[in-house]
């Protein structure tokens, strides 16, 4: 058995022992939403416009017990969804989960990322969350998946960050030392880890970080095992994560948590430093952010795209006036109040003009009224429309005559 095969077998053993994620199975669709798993919202984030079709093909690569897969099915009723994973035990739970909640029509295959070429066709959206960093060859994994991304498709990825997981890395090594020859016995590893945390002094940094950041989810052994006794983990920094991205051959679209990567939140009180930072490349600015705020960067979540991926900035008034607007599918409470939850479950406060425009967009996917026609009814101006689009609370479909960049 090769080293790569041995690692894959060890990872499969972990997830057969502790199927992950260990979320309960429901008799109804899962609550809420993750906009990154909604084809309409994710495409809008990446391009500034609604996708040209709703019947996307979606691949959940490394689906585990199907928590994300279930959302992908329920959030995208017109899509076809495929899930793959190397753990037979996790796949069995995923199938049961989707059957129980009515997530019908999803296909599951017992395949690793490296076997994705065996799947027919290409995919408009590939979701790969928490997987690449657990493979023996992340570059080979991302390249295998990139080959399955359709032109104009988007690829959502989540990998670990080394700076924000420093204490986790130390505990992983401590547990491995104490396990000795029993390393690979994951139930023993969980037992050793829990005893360690209980024994450490209250002011110990590793214990404090666990209690303030991870202890709530780590009450469940599957989460604890995934974090502290995983047989394979690669943690990234900005430089190495972009090496991974560059190796994919795809276009970097952007981080899907852009608020974290806003340098102003850290040095905005020092205009001279901001001016100096503006002379840096994008990647250098990202590196500066993670160096200044390492605990915030526990992971990287981002979108890649395969050209041609049209971008719409709505700079021209005539293009915006002729667009068809509709509310984002990932907002809550907007019909009742101008204060509601946005796609990231953050509270937004619309002014009266913005709110009235958004309310008049309700049902517009069918009515197909243009921005100009709705403005004639509610008043207001294009600034309110642009504000709604920038805040990701509204989708815009361009007129067929509107060029994209």
Q: Taking the CA atoms of the chain, what radius of gyration do you get in angstroms?
A: 23
The CA distance from 224 to 102, in Å, is 29
pLDDT at position 1 is 76
Residue spans of alpha helices (H) in 52-149: 67-75, 88-101, 138-146
Residue spans of alpha helices (H) in 293-381: 317-321, 352-360, 364-367, 371-378
pLDDT at position 3 is 87
3-state secondary structure 218-247: HHCHHHHHHHHCCCCCCCECHHHHHHHHHH
The CA distance from 64 to 22, in Å, is 9
The CA distance from 86 to 249, in Å, is 25
- Nearest 5 degrees, angle CA 278-CA 254-CA 167? 85
The CA distance from 314 to 197, in Å, is 53
The CA distance from 202 to 196, in Å, is 12
The CA distance from 202 to 194, in Å, is 14
CA distances, 13 to each of 59, 98, 256, 301, 395 (Å): 23, 23, 31, 26, 43
Would you give the DSSP letter of residue 215? Answer: T
Partners of 217 in the β-ladder: none
pLDDT at position 289 is 98
CA distances, 28 to each of 2, 94, 251, 269, 324 (Å): 43, 15, 37, 48, 33
Identify which of 265, 92, 247 has the alpha carbon closest to the alpha carbon of residue 159. 247
The CA distance from 228 to 103, in Å, is 32
Domain regions of the chain by residue span: 3-162+235-305, 167-228, 317-397
pLDDT at position 402 is 75
* pTM (two decimals): 0.96
Kindly provide the b/e burial profile for residues 51-90, where b requires at least 16 CB atoms within 10 angstroms of the residue's own CB: beeeebbbbbbbbbbbbbbbbbbbbbeebbbbbbbbbebb
7, 137 contact by CB (below 8 A): no
174, 196 contact by CB (below 8 A): yes
**Cβ count within 10 A of residue 272:** 8
From the centroid of its chain, how far is CA 63? 13
- Burial class from Cβ neighbours inside 10 Å (0-12, 13-18, 19+) for residue 193 reads buried
Partners of 160 in the β-ladder: 299
Residue appearing with tokens 């051959």: 249
For the chain, how many residues are written? 405
Cis peptide before 21 (omega within 30 of 0): yes
Average pLDDT per run of 10 along the chain, which is 405 residues long? 90 96 96 96 98 96 98 97 96 98 96 97 98 97 98 98 97 98 98 98 98 96 98 98 98 97 97 98 98 97 97 95 97 96 96 96 96 94 96 94 72
- CATH 3.40.50.150 assigned to 3-162+235-305: yes
| Half-sphere exposure at residue 336, Cβ-oriented, CA atoms within 13 angstroms | 5
Residue appearing with tokens 């500066």: 288
């Amino acid at each position: 058995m090769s080293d790569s095969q041995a690692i894959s077998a060890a990872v499969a053993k972990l997830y057969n022992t502790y199927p992950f994620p260990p979320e309960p199975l429901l008799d109804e669709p899962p609550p809420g939403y993750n906009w990154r798993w909604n084809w309409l919202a994710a495409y809008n984030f990446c391009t500034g416009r609604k996708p040209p079709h709703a019947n996307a093909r979606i691949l959940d690569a490394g689906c585990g017990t199907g928590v994300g897969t279930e959302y992908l099915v329920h959030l995208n009723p017109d899509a076809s969804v495929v899930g793959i994973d190397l753990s037979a035990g996790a796949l069995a739970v995923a199938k049961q989960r989707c059957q129980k909640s009515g997530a019908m029509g999803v296909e599951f295959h017992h395949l690793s990322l490296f076997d994705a070429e065996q799947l027919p066709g290409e995919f408009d959206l590939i979701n790969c969350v928490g997987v690449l960093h657990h493979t023996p060859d992340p570059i080979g994994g991302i390249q295998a998946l990139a080959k399955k991304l359709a032109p104009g498709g988007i690829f959502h990825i989540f990998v670990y960050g080394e700076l924000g997981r420093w204490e986790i890395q130390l505990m992983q090594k401590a547990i491995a030392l104490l396990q000795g020859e029993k390393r690979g016995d994951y139930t023993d590893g969980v037992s050793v880890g829990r005893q360690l945390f209980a024994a450490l002094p209250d002011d110990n940094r590793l214990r404090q970080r666990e209690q303030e950041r991870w202890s709530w989810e780590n009450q469940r052994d599957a989460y604890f095992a995934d974090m502290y006794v995983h047989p394979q983990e690669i943690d990234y920094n900005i430089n190495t994560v972009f090496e991974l991205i560059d190796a994919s051959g795809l276009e970097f679209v952007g981080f899907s948590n852009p608020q974290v990567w806003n340098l102003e939140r850290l040095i905005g009180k020092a205009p001279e430093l901001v001016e100096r930072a503006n002379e840096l490349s994008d990647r250098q600015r990202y590196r500066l952010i993670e160096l200044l705020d390492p605990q915030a960067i526990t992971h990287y979540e981002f979108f890649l795209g395969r050209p041609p991926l049209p971008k719409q900035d709505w700079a021209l008034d005539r293009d915006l006036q002729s667009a068809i607007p509709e509310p984002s599918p990932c907002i809550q409470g907007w019909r009742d109040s101008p204060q509601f939850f946005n796609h990231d479950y953050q509270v937004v406060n619309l002014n009266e003009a913005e709110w009235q425009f958004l309310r008049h967009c309700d049902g517009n996917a069918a009515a197909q009224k243009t921005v100009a026609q709705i403005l004639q009814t509610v008043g207001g101006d294009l600034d309110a429309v642009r504000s709604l689009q920038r805040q990701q609370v509204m989708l815009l479909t361009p007129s067929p005559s509107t060029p994209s960049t």
